[in-house]
């Protein structure tokens, strides 16, 4: 079973999604992530609020680590903690880097 709560900060236009999974190696469902990617691209959340940033906050480091690369690729921040106290996730192997040119072998 998983929990999913949201908190919107109007001043910074940031939506935080608080996620808890029964199994740490569980990915955020693709349709859910797509909703937030669309919100970032359009600048509007599902309820019409202005969106500049989306942060997923996981209760445990394992879930954050398992989801971090996919979220980073989508432009979504990863955090660890609770609704009242959370901080950016710092992966042991550093932040993933993406280069369209390099990834497709273009000089």
List, for residues 36-47, the tens digit of each pLDDT value: 999 999 999 989
Q: Which residues pair with 1 in a beta bridge?
A: none
Q: What is the largest CA-CA distance in the chain?
A: 46
Helical H segments across the chain, by residue range: 30-42, 61-73, 100-103
3-class DSSP assignment, residue 85: coil
pTM of the model: 0.84
Q: What pLDDT score was predicted for residue 103?
A: 57
**Regions in the chain scoring below 70 on pLDDT:** 1-2, 96-107
Could you tell me which of 95, 89, 22 has the C-alpha nearest to residue 61? 89
β-strands 77-81, 3-9 pairing: unpaired
Please state whether beta strands 86-88 and 77-81 pair in parallel, antiparallel, or not at all (unpaired): antiparallel
List the domain boundaries for the chain. Answer: 3-91
How much is the pLDDT for 1? 44
């Amino acid at each position: 079973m998983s929990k999913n709560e949201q908190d919107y900060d109007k001043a910074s236009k940031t939506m935080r999604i608080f996620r808890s999974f029964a199994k740490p190696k569980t990915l955020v469902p693709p349709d859910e992530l797509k909703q937030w990617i669309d919100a970032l691209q359009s600048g509007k959340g599902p309820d019409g609020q202005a969106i500049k940033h989306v942060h997923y906050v996981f209760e445990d480091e394992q879930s954050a680590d398992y989801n971090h690369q996919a979220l980073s690729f989508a432009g979504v921040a990863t955090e660890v903690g609770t609704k009242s106290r959370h901080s950016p996730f710092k992966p042991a192997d550093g932040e993933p880097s993406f280069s369209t040119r390099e990834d497709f072998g273009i000089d």
